[in-house]
């Protein structure tokens, strides 16, 4: 996950927020920045990132599928109750109706919170070899969701500015996520 944190740190430089040393976002000194109109993420980025709602929906579906699989095993529920709570909270943050309508900086903070929750879930679930053996195939959904979240974050932060490498990687992530969901 170190590469993801480094990527988020790099991408956050495009925002009026940046990652602080503790891994959380803090506001940049706006006095030294050019004026930025805060219209809300939908109005500000809809043209540059028209697939925002679809990509958030794919993330929620991946996490929901994983959660359903984990909840089907009583031993997993008892062993990983905190991780399942974090997974549910991440899904709720991504599917909250006002999530994309927030200011760009608040939306980025929300995405960072989801990322931290998914890291916690990954650490929690992979701490048990029994859980890995029981849910190995579905645990790929968590990895895909985390990678997709990083790509969504990059699109939101950069406003869809890199349409070559970034766009093709995002498209490949969409395909991988859809394939994982169709395997259910």
Domain layout of the chain by residue ranges: 2-182
pLDDT over 60 (residue 72): yes
Express the helix, strand and coil content of the chain in percent, nearest 5 each.
75, 5, 25
Mean pLDDT of all residues belonging to the chain: 77
pLDDT in tens, 87-134: 999 999 998 766 666 777 788 888 999 999 999 999 999 999 999 999
pTM passes above 0.85: no
Give tens-digit pLDDT for 18-57. Answer: 333 344 444 444 344 333 344 444 445 555 677 888 899 9
Lowest mean pLDDT among 72-86, 124-138, 148-162, 168-182: 148-162
Q: Which residue has the higher pLDDT, 31 or 135?
A: 135
Q: What pLDDT, on the 0 to 100 scale, is given for residue 166? A: 59
User: Quick one: pLDDT at residue 11?
Assistant: 46
Long-range Cβ contacts of 10-18 (<8 Å, 24+ apart): 11/153, 11/154, 11/157, 11/158, 12/108, 12/157, 14/157, 14/158, 14/159, 14/161, 15/104, 15/105, 15/108, 15/157, 16/104, 16/105, 17/105, 17/108, 17/109
Q: 6 pLDDT band (50/70/90 cuts)?
A: low
pLDDT at 83 > cutoff 90:
yes
Residue with tokens 């109706």: 97
Return the pLDDT at 162.
53
**Is residue 119 within 8 Å of residue 142, measured between CB atoms?**
no
């Amino acid at each position: 996950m170190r590469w993801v944190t480094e990527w988020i740190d790099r991408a956050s430089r495009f925002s009026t927020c940046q990652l602080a040393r503790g891994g959380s976002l803090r506001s940049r000194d706006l006095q030294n920045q050019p004026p930025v109109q805060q219209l809300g993420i939908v109005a500000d980025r809809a043209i540059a990132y028209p697939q925002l709602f679809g990509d958030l929906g794919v993330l929620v579906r991946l996490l929901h599928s994983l959660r359903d699989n984990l909840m089907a095993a009583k031993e997993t529920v008892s062993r990983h109750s905190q991780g399942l709570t974090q997974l549910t909270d991440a899904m709720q943050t991504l599917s909250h109706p006002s999530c994309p309508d927030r200011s760009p900086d608040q939306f980025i903070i929300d995405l960072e919170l989801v990322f931290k929750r998914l890291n916690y879930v990954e650490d929690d679930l992979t701490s048990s070899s029994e859980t890995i053996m029981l849910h190995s195939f579905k645990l790929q959904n968590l990895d895909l969701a985390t990678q997709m979240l990083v790509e969504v974050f990059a699109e939101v932060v950069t406003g869809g500015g890199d349409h070559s490498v970034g766009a093709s990687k995002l498209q490949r992530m969409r395909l991988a996520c859809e394939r994982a969901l169709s395997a259910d």
